[in-house]
Amino acid sequence: MASRPAPVPHPDEAAKQVALADLSGELLALLRPGGEVVDANSAWTELLDFEPGMGVDALRQRLHEDDRLAFEEARRTVLQGGDVHGQVVRFLAPDGRWLELEWSCRLLADHGLLAIRGRDVTEQRQLAREHDRRARHLEQVNDELREFAYVASHDLSEPLRMVTSYLDLVRRRYDEQLDDTGREFIHFAVDGAHRMRALIDDLLRYSRIGGALPDHAPVDLDALLRTVCQDLEETIGEAGATIEAAPLGTVVGDATMLGQLLQNLLVNAVKFRTAERAPHVTLGARRTGGTLVLEVSDNGIGIDATQLERIFQVFTRLHSRDEYDGTGIGLSICRRICERHGGTITARSVPGEGTTFVVTLRDEAVGA
């Protein structure tokens, strides 16, 4: 009868733990309360060049001097039975680099040992600092650009107002002395000045929205829409437009900015109309997934699908000024207002049938 093979012995539990510890990229070690290293995994010994038996004094000497006090306070906390989690210290590596190590430590009272776990977060923290530096630089550049846009627009307003005034004066005083060509020249100059004035005003609005922090107060969108429609009464009447709105509810936001958003969308809907039918604009809102979704639909000329993202860029015009006036900033202002409220704006459209603008705002509603 053949003999059975001898069973393979199970590895020692301690050996398994050592093997698992050596597979970890974290720095793991056991220390005596006095600071001597009892045992450590491969990551500890390779990165820190510390071997069992070495003391905490050798570790302390390689700490950055600005971190030694915090290290000692953390050590006292652990020896008194407390835990330390996520403390970062700078440590001089054998190759001369300063490593940033994140430590957690606790006292194993039953064994009289300190268990330490560390992670090398040097690259992670360097990337975070670089990200913060770039973010601060970008914010500084944006602030400078906003200031430049505001100052440039403001300083241009006065000489432009003077040019427009003198052109109007010339037209009134010397109209009878001008021939048709002269009158046409004056008309072109006045029209150009008015268009430049509209551009300056839109630039001022755009720069102010970028720099201002929106207020956070309850805004009754239905009341706000009524006010906007009253302000646009002449524009709506001249176009023969109808505005139909379902209950929109109340959100928390900046009433002035949200009013500008509604006004720009309504003006846009009324302006880009077809010759065959009067503008008809519908507004509706719903709440879903913590978000208020506002939709503004029209029956206008529509937008080609390839242009639906481009229309929100500053100074973008899809039509000549002979077809439709404007500065190409209105929808850019809408997007900026939405972003300042933590939301978005997109569009869907069928050329020749109409466009729907979809606005999402964080639903901090106090009423529906």
In the chain, what percentage of residues exceed pLDDT 70? 80
The mean pLDDT value for 213-238 works out to 86
**Which run of H or E residues covers position 335?**
helix 330-340
State how far the Cα of 336 lies from the Cα of 49, in Å rounded to an integer: 54
Task: Label residues 143-153 b or e (16+ Cβ within 10 Å = b).
Answer: eeebeebbeeb
Q: Which of 91-95, 99-103, 317-321 has the lowest mean pLDDT?
A: 317-321
> Which pLDDT score, from 0 to 100, does residue 7 have?
45
Residue 316 has pLDDT above 80, yes or no: no
Is 9 exposed, middle or buried (CB count within 10 Å of its CB: 0-12, 13-18, 19+)?
exposed
The three-class DSSP label of residue 104 is strand
How confident is the model over 306-331, as a mean pLDDT?
66
> Average pLDDT, stretch 295-314?
82
What pLDDT was estimated at residue 1? 41
The pLDDT of residue 313 is above 70 = yes
